């Protein structure tokens, strides 16, 4: 099997790849994530994924490099990772009892053969109505602090808050596996990643 290089320190993405039996290692570089105001969410996640993948691909020219980026969008506003517990609580209150969109972009680059592709998935998530006590308890546990939108669908408690999803569950976890598989098969058929 050819080795995949994951340009992400996300434990969720690493766990998903391991679960699929993918042989990979992690290498990241510091990237100042930027996008123009008014950019569509789909374009943002694809661009940010590529920004993360490109410098790693310049180092690992003979390996396929994968990067991903996830954002939560509510009423056209991007909810990133909360900076403080108070911000996390405010995000969860804004999501409570409502639906929002989760976008995850993927970038795959094989520098040696000058091939690259970006794509994204969008999934609609509905959160149950949450009490202030539920929100405070969840935030105190620390889980929301490293997640876009301040919740994790894979968390024990975070999973309890999600009343429905429309789309790919793995998009919400940060790595749409079906999309990844299709992109590798279509664009890198000579590489035996899966």
Helix (H, G, I), strand (E, B) or coil at 10: coil
Burial environment of residue 38 by CB neighbours within 10 A (0 to 12, 13 to 18, 19 or more) = exposed
Using an 8 Å Cβ cutoff, are 157 and 138 in contact?
A: yes
Helix (H, G, I), strand (E, B) or coil at 16: helix
Phi, psi angles (nearest 5°) of residue 24: -150, 165
Using an 8 Å Cβ cutoff, are 94 and 151 in contact?
A: no
CB count within 10 Å of CB 5 equals 21
Q: Catalytic one among 69, 75, 156, 190? A: 69
Q: Is 75 a catalytic residue?
A: no
Full DSSP string of 71-98: EEEETTEEE---SSHHHHHHHHHHHTT-
Nearby residues of 182 by Cβ (< 8 Å), 6 or more positions away: none
Q: What residues act catalytically?
A: 69
């Amino acid at each position: 099997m050819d080795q995949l290089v994951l340009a992400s320190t996300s434990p969720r993405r690493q766990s998903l790849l391991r679960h699929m039996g993918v042989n990979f290692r992690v290498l990241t570089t510091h990237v100042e994530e930027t996008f123009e105001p008014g950019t569509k969410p789909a374009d943002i996640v694809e661009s940010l994924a590529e920004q993360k993948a490109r410098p790693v691909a310049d180092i690992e020219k003979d390996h396929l490099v994968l990067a991903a980026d996830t954002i939560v969008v509510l009423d056209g506003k991007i909810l990133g990772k909360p900076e403080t517990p108070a911000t996390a609580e405010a995000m969860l209150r804004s999501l409570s009892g409502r639906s929002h969109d989760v976008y995850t972009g993927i970038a795959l680059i094989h520098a040696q053969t000058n091939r690259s592709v970006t794509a994204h998935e969008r999934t609609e998530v509905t959160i149950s109505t949450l009490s202030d006590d539920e929100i405070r308890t969840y935030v105190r546990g620390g889980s929301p602090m490293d997640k876009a939108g301040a919740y994790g669908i894979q968390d024990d408690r975070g999973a309890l808050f999600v009343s429905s999803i429309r789309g790919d569950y793995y998009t919400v976890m940060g790595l749409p596996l079906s999309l990844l598989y299709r992109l590798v098969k279509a664009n890198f058929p000579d590489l035996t990643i899966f």
